Homo-oligomer: A and B are copies of this chain.
Amino acid sequence: MSKKKPLILVTNDDGITAPGIRTLIEVMNTIGDVCVVAPDTPQSAMGHAITINDTLYCNTVKVHENEPQKEYSCSGTPVDCVKLAVNEILKRKPDLCVSGINHGSNSSINVIYSGTMSAAVEAGTIGIPSIGFSLLDYSLEADFTPCKKFIKKMALECLEKGLPKGVVLNVNFPKLKENEIKGVKVCRQADAHWVETFDKRTNPLGKDYYWLTGEFINEDKGEDTDEWALKNGYVSVVPVQFDLTAHHAIRTINSWDF
């Protein structure tokens, strides 16, 4: 008697037709029964946003013929997609949730802005083993092929071993050919931040507006960070938690005069 196939929820933040999610679906179809619930439009940098003041639409779709997975496109954010999948669409809790493959980096502080990672975190909050994948290439023509074998291995390990309670994985791939990737490093999140330069323009009606443009500042010299791993040809894996308590700071704040 063969083992029951795992149920895998696939989502992303670049939208259901993005090449990154199509690659992820392809890999997951070799492992289990796949259900895709993903945004109908790009939702990059949506963080952990959810839709509470607006309606949500959700449609069954078939992006490519002859693919076995069920697919739903949703008008909401990546986190909405996970909530809708788990509570409305799927008959049982999925065995695994994978998000991505994101077009662009979600390393270091980017994890807090990332819709891809927020979807993975949301699944984690309800006890689903969950991994977010990103490739350091924003191009729609990005080559996701080198990511495939790593993704498959990681998904299988995650299904077999599970993840520690309250932990999801943030996986980033360097923009390298398969034979150039040196391996996988389990890392901490580099201590970096963004400095923004706002591009100020004037619209045809004479009103000023801005485009947000940012510069990523990494002053963390550690060789145990995701930034270091990626710069040195490794796939980075950061275990991410959503208990944000800074336990080390409780004592200090307790000394305050309230």
- A binding-site residues for B, Cβ under 8 Å: 42, 44-53, 55-58, 77, 79-80, 83-84, 86-88, 109, 111-113, 118, 121, 125-126, 150, 153-154, 157, 161, 163-164, 166-167, 169-170, 183-184, 186-189, 191, 193-198, 200, 203, 207-212, 214, 235, 237-250, 252-254, 256-258
What are 21 A-B residue pairs whose CB atoms fall within 8 Å in the complex? A47-B48, A47-B49, A47-B79, A48-B113, A49-B113, A55-B211, A57-B208, A57-B209, A83-B196, A109-B125, A112-B121, A112-B125, A125-B193, A186-B254, A188-B243, A189-B245, A191-B243, A235-B258, A239-B245, A241-B245, A241-B246
Known: A58-B208, A84-B210. 7 other contacts (CB 8 A): A47-B50, A164-B249, A167-B246, A189-B244, A191-B243, A237-B253, A240-B245
Q: Which B-chain residue is minimally distant from A164 (CB atoms)?
A: B249
Instruction: Please give, as numbers and ranges, the residues of chain B lying within 8 Å of A84 by CB-CB distance.
Output: 196, 198, 210
Contacting pair A246 B239 (CB below 8 A): yes
Contacting pair B126 A169 (CB below 8 A): no
CA of A76 to CA of B119 in the docked complex: distance in angstroms? 22
A83-B212 in contact given A126-B193, A249-B167 (Cβ < 8 Å): yes
For the complex formed by this chain, how many copies does it contain in all?
2
Instruction: Please give, as numbers and ranges, the residues of chain B lying within 8 Å of A88 by CB-CB distance.
Output: 196, 198, 200, 210
CA of A186 to CA of B251 in the docked complex: distance in angstroms? 9
Contacting pair A184 B258 (CB below 8 A): yes
A212-B52 in contact given A47-B118, A153-B257 (Cβ < 8 Å): yes
Contacting pair A111 B196 (CB below 8 A): no
Return A36 CB to nearest CB of chain B, in Å. Answer: 18
Instruction: Please give, as numbers and ranges, the residues of chain B lying within 8 Å of A203 by CB-CB distance.
Output: 55
Instruction: Please give, as numbers and ranges, the residues of chain B lying within 8 Å of A161 by CB-CB distance.
Output: 256
Closest 5 CB pairs of A and B: A47-B48, A239-B249, A47-B47, A241-B246, A184-B258
